[in-house]
Amino acid sequence: MKEYNEIIESLPRAIFIIPMRGCPVFPGLYTTIEVSDKQDIDIIRHCEKFNGFGLVMLKNDNKDTSKLTEDDFYKVGTFVRVKNQINTIYGTKSLFLETICRFKIDNMLVNRGAITANVTYIQEDTLSQIEDKAFTSALREALDQRADRSMLLENLRFNASNIPEALRLADYLASAVVPRAKQQELLEEFNGKVRIMKVLQALNEELAVQKMHDEIQSIVSKKIDARQREYFLREELKSIKQQLDQMGHGADELDSDEELFDSELGNEPVKKSRKPKLIDRLKALGLTGETYETVMDEYQKMGSMDTNNPEYSMLRTYLETVADLPWNTFSPDDFSLDRARKILEADHYGIKDVKDRVLEFLSVRKLKNDTKGSIICLVGPPGTGKTSIGISIAKALNKKYYRFSVGGMRDEAEIKGHRRTYIG
């Protein structure tokens, strides 16, 4: 810290100020910012000869920079030096900065958009070797507990392991882990020990929130597992019923009437309606050409088999599936973007990027008039609304919604339709 305080003595007392939005930068670190305002770019170029400038947060992120006054700024900022700069293709300037120290604004002058201030630099506290070691250990332990619950923090844990001083480590964690709403408060805390304690408190609060979130997710997951279990039991019951039908009847027999009891699920018995013959259902599909010939060949093949033959059950399931498909059933496409937007806004709050992607997909379909199917992949943990988005898309397109659950499937051949090839 002695070298740090010696550096402060050499810094200018009158400096240019660049307004910051979003979150402040902390001293003792390296960071990158992007500057788009032309006047700020000119000021930064001018500041190169003065060996740095100040970054100060605005109290209101939406404030027009052409109407700034001293009251629009916080009183504490960070003095920085430009280590490298790159001109981007968008006309902005990307700056790689070394952050030096905190300063407090004594007075400020705003003249035609150029902002200058007289400042007092803040000397850092000096911790004893024992204090520094104890605080460093406490900060790393708090970060480890947070990182164990989030893979996103693994890189931060690695970086923190290379910072030996407690005060610098506290500033690093304040900039990387602490919520933005508390960052300016920590920047304005000049007492090193108090600042470290506030960072530890913020980390522990975030850990408590994460634990609560995990507990909620666990409860939701258990409820979803219960629903999936019910679904599997129903599918198993349906499969057993089909097997019993096949053992007692040929391909041309009518399915018998019987009552199904969901005793384990606690449901009332349901009377299952009588179905027409499988051959009649297949003929009623209106298939033509190669499709019709293939289906009839498979039906005749099944009719010549013994019902105890394992392939009989497979063929029966295959033909039942074919008979259940909506052949020659179409619905008119509706690519009205206004209607789709209204449906998405009415059904879902937020998730703007997802809505924009869906509308982009509809726009392309409308312009290309392409009938080929498309796949949109929605990724997220259970209960975040992926299925609801699918329902809204179906409603917007005026299409019938169908949910195909692959929970529990372990073999991709089941999904690709290779089951008939590999069984047996």
Q: Are 86 and 93 in contact (CB under 8 A)?
A: yes
Burial of 128 (0-12, 13-18, 19+ CB in 10 A): exposed
User: Nearest CA to 390 among 407, 406, 378?
Assistant: 378
Partners of 111 in the β-ladder: 114
Residue 361: CA atoms inside 13 Å, Cβ hemisphere, count? 19
Distances (CA, A) of 142 to 65, 198, 379: 39, 12, 30
Tens-place pLDDT, residues 200-259: 998 888 888 888 887 888 887 777 777 787 778 777 877 777 776 666 544 444 344 334
Structure tokens at 282: 């297949």
Tens-place pLDDT, residues 369-380: 765 667 778 888
Q: Are 43 and 111 in contact (CB under 8 A)?
A: no
Has this prediction a pTM greater than 0.75? Answer: no
DSSP class of residue 135 equals: H
Q: Would you state the pLDDT for residue 271? A: 46
Dihedral pair phi/psi, residue 206, rounded to 5° = -65, -35
Q: Would you state the pLDDT for residue 243? A: 74
**How many C-beta atoms lie closer than 10 Å to residue 97's C-beta?**
21
Q: Would you state the pLDDT for residue 256? A: 40
User: What is the C-alpha to C-alpha distance for residues 81 and 83, in angstroms, rounded to an integer?
Assistant: 6
Q: Would you state the pLDDT for residue 265? A: 46
- Pairing between strand 93-111 and 114-121? antiparallel
Structure tokens at 414: 């089941």
Residues of the chain with pLDDT under 70: 1-5, 49-50, 148-152, 244-275, 370-373, 407-409, 412-424
Which residue is associated with the tokens 């990307």?
94
Buried b / exposed e along 385-397 (16+ C-beta atoms within 10 A): beeebbebbebbb
Distances (CA, A) of 54 to 40, 156, 308: 12, 26, 84
User: What is the C-alpha to C-alpha distance for residues 234 and 43, in angstroms, rounded to an integer?
Assistant: 71
User: Nearest CA to 126 among 4, 27, 10, 26?
Assistant: 4
User: Nearest CA to 323 among 279, 291, 290?
Assistant: 279
